[in-house]
Amino acid sequence: MSFTKTSLLEHDLSGKAAIVTGASRGIGAAVARAFSDAGARVVLVGRSKETLEEVASELANDPVLVVSDIGDPTAPQAILDQAKAAVGHIDVLVNNAGGGEAAGPAHTLKPEDADALWALNLRAPILLGGLVAADMAASGGGSIVSISSGLSQQGMPGVSLYSAVKGGLEAATRSLATEWGAAAVRFNVVSPGVTRTRLGSWISSNDAALHKYLEKVPLNRIGEPEDVAAAVLFLSSPQSAYITGQVIPVDGGWTTSSPLLA
């Protein structure tokens, strides 16, 4: 592969089709905009048709809407079927949908909330990733990027289950990368720190919590959805063709900071 100055700076996805789950806001919406700007046709997946339509109104290349609760066991196959019916071959999948209500000390967690969190954050991306990988393998390959969290690496009270499923997603990604590498299907993870989204608002909107957090962030700011989207775009582009099975932190250095030395 030869590079020119222009090719190193551009991530061209013209003629490509990408599925983005959790695309109705925050990081997912930012990824969808980045992909559209790079020339891709984007399949937006989310639970609310209205919010997906708002995102779609900002995109070029005739975006497709798939209304689905990805935590449903039947959702992964249905999402792939609807996406393929609309755009044909899938070149990129971004497993962004996540979150959940199972937070607090482990002894207070409700089993039903724990099951829902695991289904959304771990089962769904593994199943959808596997299905899409098999489809990509039959057509020459592709890229699958999942969104994890710095909490998979940094301990914090009250998030044991969330940390566990995000850590599990990173472990699964390494296994899937070895499983599908020979078919030119790449699996990687982007691991954000606190980002200016609804999920990150418990820190970003609390001055005391934000100050304490930023003491551990060398770049001294929280992330923007566009910071994460830029990393996802890179991992989805030909410029990352020799990268697979990796976890890329996008956290301003948070997970490199030692609280013992602060």
Q: Name beta bridge partners: 250.
A: 192
Sheet with 185-192, edge to edge strand ranges? 64-67, 41-46, 17-21, 92-95, 142-147, 185-192, 247-250
Q: How far is 95 from 182, CA to CA, in rounded Å?
A: 21
CB atoms within 10 A of CB 1: 7
Catalytic site includes residue 213: no
Q: How far is 24 from 45, CA to CA, in rounded Å?
A: 8
Q: How far is 165 from 171, CA to CA, in rounded Å?
A: 10
Q: Which tokens go with 191? A: 């691991």
Nearest-CA neighbor of 43 among 7, 78, 4, 72?
78
Would you say 245 and 187 are in contact if contact means Cβ atoms under 8 Å apart? yes
CB atoms within 10 A of CB 100: 18
Question: What is the DSSP code string of 76-103?
Answer: HHHHHHHHHHHHSS--EEEE-----S--
Q: Can you point out the beta strands (E) in the chain?
A: 17-21, 41-46, 64-67, 92-95, 142-147, 185-192, 247-250
Catalytic residue among 162, 180, 187, 254: 162
CB atoms within 10 A of CB 211: 10
Active-site positions? 162
